Amino acid sequence: MSILASTKRLLSDHWPVPVVLKPGSEPLFDDEHFELVDGRLLEKPKGVEEQLIDSDLLAWLSPFVREHGLGWTLMAGKFALPKVGNNRIPDLAFVSYAAWPKSKGRPKGPFWSLAPDLAVEVVSPSDGGSDVMDKMKEYFVAGCKAVWIIWPRLEQIHVYSSPKSVRIFSRTDILEGDPVIPGFRLPLIELFPIYDEPVAP
């Protein structure tokens, strides 16, 4: 893996201990594959399968949100999380008009200084389970109302309404967006289809 280090975006082909930024330094947080976590710039790798799940879910979610005038949806949006101090990049996010009114227009700058109402993370093979859980808890500390964690290998979505409250949806279930995205329904067979031929690993 590579690391984005310091404000000059120095890329490395190795994976050393992440560089700690000096107090007062301003990292160039303009690459969608890097997050700023506890003063360290960390790469967030994403495989083809995870990217396709991102785009498929957005294709269902965004039209519903727009049609019902609920808020903003974005993929790989950059968020400066309040109360936490980290910059995170959920794979998908929903920000309600209550949190950021439509009248304010699109936010300017490299990242959005608020917590999304909904943060969605698609777990990659390189993600550690404890890191995923830590990130989920961090979103709630920042003020998120719901976190969806998608496990492609399990073909499941774990829907958290708090760090200690989770519902698990599988391929045969219908994902529900209530109460954060009221009325949204998605048959998960659409997200985890059954293919006629096995896909080579």
pTM reported for the whole predicted model: 0.80
Q: How far apart are CA 128 and CA 110, in angstroms?
A: 27
Q: How far apart are CA 100 and CA 103, in angstroms?
A: 8
Question: What ranges do the domains of the chain cover?
Answer: 1-43, 48-187
Residue 200: per-residue pLDDT:
59
More confident residue, 185 or 125: 185
CATH topology of domain 48-187: tt1808, chain A (3.90.1570)
Token pair 């005038």 is found at 69
Backbone angles phi, psi at 133, to 5 degrees: -65, -40
Chain segment 144-161, per-residue pLDDT in tens: 999 999 999 999 999 999
Residues with Cβ < 8 Å from 195, sequence gap 6 or more? none
Chain segment 169-186, per-residue pLDDT in tens: 999 999 999 999 999 999
Q: What does the pLDDT average to over 14-37?
A: 49
